[in-house]
Amino acid sequence: MKYNLAVTIDKASGFCFGVVYAIEMAEDILDDEDYLYCLGDIVHNDEEVKRLTDKGLRIIDHEQLQLLHNEKVLIRAHGEAPSTYQLAMENNLTLIDASCPVVLKLQNRIKNSHDDKEHILIFGKHGHAEVIGLQGQTDGEALVFQDLSELDNAELPAKFTLYSQTTKSTDKFYHIKDQLLSRGYEVKANDTICRQVSNRYTDLEQFVVNFNKVIFVSGKKSSNGKVLYDVCKKYNDNSYFISTVEELELDWFDANDKVGICGATSTPMWLMEKVKAKLESF
């Protein structure tokens, strides 16, 4: 049986400019050199990471960085803590800095707040590369939380400054701000969420309602992938999360379905094209 699926890719999905910038920098160097070290996965998408490691990208962690000398190392879009730059100077490492401009601006704001002796709270995912870099601006003093319930029993100062990881939900950020105000705290809130990410919520709402089925393509490590998939699921219950083409299942579909494909800011367009081709072969 031929399913005859009508498949459309969301034109607003795919890499954000910060990821595009980092990948282009890596590819430019790998066109001329055999290898390039990258501190952490260049993007939270295993398929794209494999494509680049096949070209010579070498992914290392912070422990391996300490053993490296006289080499080039790419800093990905998520940014890094000041200690990384200090280590690079000590080990004579050349840093290719592809930190996202939005993240760099946020790092500077947090550092200025810390220098002004403000108490800082960061709404972000524990252990996330961007959040580690942000907390590093405060010498590790900022309090990181990913859910409001974590603050229920925390001893917070009466007055503090609230920041957010750039890929968090705007609605959730403002809900947290309102809840903290209602608890009697004096909150100076800085909405530092990337609009290229937050605008996708609205774009996705409008996209997914046009289809019988929705395939959301994202790496499992992607923070905004989880958030954006929740948006898909909220507005179209027949939404499915996949990371690779192999995860597609035929029994999700009915003949002549209209299928929409969308993805995270870390999902490459080539992977969504691959998913489209597979669906059209059913």
All domains of the chain, ordered by start, with CATH? Answer: 6-14+196-281 (3.40.1010.20), 17-99 (3.40.50.11270), 102-193 (3.40.1010.20)
pLDDT tens-place string over residues 4-33 = 999 999 999 999 999 999 999 999 999 999
What's residue 248's pLDDT? Answer: 98
What's residue 115's pLDDT? Answer: 97
Residues in a beta bridge with 95: 73
pLDDT tens-place string over residues 71-104 = 999 999 999 999 999 999 999 999 999 999 999 9
What's residue 210's pLDDT? Answer: 98
pLDDT tens-place string over residues 98-141 = 999 999 999 999 999 999 999 999 999 999 999 999 999 999 99
Within 117-245, residue ranges assigned H as helices are 129-136, 170-182, 195-208, 223-235
Q: What is the pTM of this model?
A: 0.90
List the catalytic residue out of 80, 118, 130, 246: 130
Q: Which has the minimum average pLDDT: 72-86, 195-209, 229-243?
A: 195-209
For the question of residue 130 being annotated catalytic, the response is yes
| Pair 118, 143: CB distance under 8 Å | no
pLDDT tens-place string over residues 253-271 = 999 999 999 999 999 999 9
Query: How far, CA to CA in Å, does 88 sit from each of 33, 130, 260?
Result: 20, 18, 45
- 227 has a pLDDT exceeding 90: no
- 1 has a pLDDT exceeding 90: no
| Pair 267, 43: CB distance under 8 Å | no
The whole-angstrom separation of Cα 260 and Cα 209 is 9
pLDDT band at 169 (very low <50, low <70, confident <90, very high): confident
What's residue 65's pLDDT? Answer: 98
- 245 has a pLDDT exceeding 90: yes
Residue partners of 94: CB distance under 8 A and separation at least 6: 71, 72, 73, 88
